[in-house]
Amino acid sequence: MRECLKFYIGGQWTDPADPADPADPAGPEPSRVLDVVNPATEQVCGRVAAGSAADVDRAVAAARAAFGAWSGTSAADRAEVLRNIQEAYQKRSGDLAAALTEEMGAPASLAGGFQVGLGAGHLAKAIEILEDFAFEERRGATLVVREPIGVCALITPWNWPLNQIAVKVFPALATGCAMVLKPSEIAPSAGRIFAEILDAAGVPAGVFNLVQGDGPGAGAALSSHPGVDMVSFTGSVRAGVEVARNAAPGVKRVTQELGGKSPNIVLDDAAFAGNVAGGVTVMMGNSGQTCSALSRMLVPRSRMDEAAAVAREAAAGVTVGDPGDDVVMGPVASRAQFEKVQALIRKGIDEGATLVAGGTGRPDGLQTGYYVKPTVFADVTSDMAIARDEIFGPVLAILGYDDVDHAVEIANDTEYGLAGNVAGADLDAARAVARRIRAGWVSINDGFDFGCPFGGYKKSGNGREWGEAGFHDYLETKGVLGYEPGQAAS
């Protein structure tokens, strides 16, 4: 039984505050403990304390107390701390992977491979950037100074826990900020282990603090706290709107990475069949629970039947089962997620899309666990729910286009703008199409780069994470005038 019943505040593991007053029935609720459910077994596998406003107050106070000294350290000193974290992270990689498999159903190969690897990759990139980052530069008579913004509230989701913690915590540390992290209560153990890693690495007390809990409790208290200078949130559009609303009275900086309904434009060329098959496989990774998932595949209308046949075969090769086994897909992360995905699959059938693979219900032989069939629809139109709603499950919608202009029009016909991909043998043609997609992260043939800015247009959010761009949201820019000798006061 994994237990996350203490918070990491001011460099110490501490019990949650219990603000309940028996003499005041209308007062604050007592401390709560939430169950953590293994999505493969549907059984409780852990418990996590639900932080209150009192816990957030303590964590923010610790961060504020630590900020002055940490913000005054040199970039070289902070880089040394990050290198210490690298060593501690490597030692705990197995523990991190095991927690992800148990709490969110990530197959062992994914959890111990790409999931843990993302955290390590972002840490290495943060160190590389910090070594050459220009915190000061002269521009004529002005000195431009980039200073840490202050205390940051970092609120992260369950689907890629280490990635989302890493792209917030490491830039915040690198730039000299202090912080309070609230990871998802659905998969909380990665956050606890992460805090243990930073403690072992010697991050100064109070610079990093961890308060577990849910959004309405700890999350709302953090985003509205007057001692917080900046909020970085990753999650749903609905929750992101609430975070922004809570933060508005304090005029905090708010950065958000929200939902997506990302297009994968497959060009009409000799690589078509391979690109369709690859698009299916990529979509099913992490059980489709990826905000940037390429969940809309756009193919030439004249090749729709061919695309459907290739996609059917590719989906059949996606193995589903116990995440401890050698499978491609484990379960989705929760009962609520399972029910949402099932409802949208049923909606796609009812709206008349052609079911190519999968469908409602669990895969054969899996009666227990939140398992979803790898599902592909063809002949999807842009007005259908499966083409517009973020499903967050292993469901691919294939839409037909008449020509490249039409493909771009379909790709941009969404309230989201997080990601996209163009798949084609002609790189010049693919690059031309990629430039026309209204999204923050557009890959060509599934390219990948830890240094590429990541973030969204439209309802997919604001601000950027990853690489050097991820540093800037944690910095204030100060202009100091009068640096030219001729402008000195007489």
Residues identified as active-site: 257, 291
Pair of tokens at residue 490: 């007489």
Four-residue CA torsion sign, 36, 37, 38, 41: positive
Give CA separation, 238 vs 256, 261, 290, 376, 459, in Å.
12, 15, 17, 27, 10
The C-alpha atoms of residue 137 and residue 238 are separated, in whole angstroms, by 40
Q: Facing residues of 254 across strands?
A: 231
Give the angle subtended at the CA of 454 by the CAs of 333 and 331, to the nearest 5°: 15
For the record, the structure tokens of 430 come out as: 């693919």
Closest C-alpha among 398, 390, 388, 389 to residue 358: 398
Residue with tokens 């169950």: 35
Across the chain, how many H-helices and E-strands are there?
16, 23
User: What count of other Cβ atoms lies within 10 Å of the Cβ of residue 94?
Assistant: 12
For residue 372, the one-letter residue type is: V
Rounded (to 5) percent helix, strand, coil in the chain: 40, 25, 35
Separation of alpha carbons 81 and 35, rounded Å? 34
